[in-house]
Amino acid sequence: MKKMTFGIVGYGKMGSSLVKGALNSGLLSAKSTKVYDLDGARIEFAKRDGLLIVDSLARIAGSDAILLAVKPKDMPKLLDELKALVPAGSALFISIAAGIKIATMESRLGEGSRIVRVMPNIAASVNEAASVFVPNRYAGASDIKFATSLLEGIGVAYRLDNESLIDAVTGVSGSGPAYFFLMMKALEEAGRRSGLPDDLIRSLVSQTCRGAGTLALRSKDSFDQLIKAVASPGGTTEEALRVMESKGFSQTVIEAVVAAIEKSKKMNYS
């Protein structure tokens, strides 16, 4: 696939993570990737990444594809401004803004606008993201192919045709890295209290998390079976799991993710 001219509106953590991953994979070229952001610090980061900096949305408008990576509350105004600059259907819009539905984007960008709504996660910056995308009715085969390649270049990508499931994806994988970081932080503290040096415990915790994920991806066993493979009867793992469940670990995680999903459903900026 030829490298497309690419415009980015908003170079924050998620937008920059996705773009860096795409640059690392070779899908995008820095010299054909333009960035527009009002934040001076973010502009400096974009410069360091070798991207082209533009001072107006008008200079983004001619791109083949435009990544919308601003805060959800800023999206309605941005969409209205882009409608005046980009003829409907002339560019592919890729949005990673939580709570901004495809119908909202279509109504503000104009009939016939090609749109792909994406929920990635921050692991995009190391090409390990889990991303889900939903194309609208005007997105063609080449648009879907580009979006798929973009997301596969930063990890794995899954297509959904039911946009209402995006909220569940947001709670599970969009926010998911933070859940694991919290668990890793707790493991780090437990190791520190037991006398392990900081550099060793961080490596042990990080590699253990990575190894567990890789094993889960490659194994056909259920999570219950994988747990049993580690937790020998009467052993240390079984004791740790007993304490976790006595404190309501699994139920707490489930309730937390449900809360994130409900929060996502309420973030409806129109």
Specify the CATH number for the domain of residue 181: 1.10.3730.10
pLDDT digits (tens, 9 = 90+) for 196-249: 999 999 999 999 999 999 999 999 999 999 999 999 999 999 999 999 999 999
- Provide the residue range defining the domain that includes 221: 174-266
Torsions phi, psi of 245, nearest 5? -70, -30
Same domain, 74 and 142: yes
- Alpha-helix runs per DSSP H in the chain: 13-25, 40-48, 75-83, 102-109, 141-152, 166-169, 176-193, 198-218, 223-230, 236-246, 249-266
pTM of the model: 0.89
Task: Please count the structural domains in the chain.
Answer: 2
Q: Look up the CATH number of the domain holding residue 54.
A: 3.40.50.720
Asked if the structure places residue 117 within a domain, the reply is yes
What per-residue confidence (pLDDT) applies to 22? 82
- Could you read off the pLDDT of 90-137 as tens digits, one per residue? 999 999 998 899 999 999 999 999 999 999 998 987 889 999 999 999
Is residue 269 predicted with pLDDT exceeding 80?
no
pLDDT at site 3: 67
Please check whether residues 40 and 120 belong to one and the same domain. Answer: yes
Q: Under 8 Å CB-to-CB from 238, ≥6 apart: which residues?
A: 231, 232
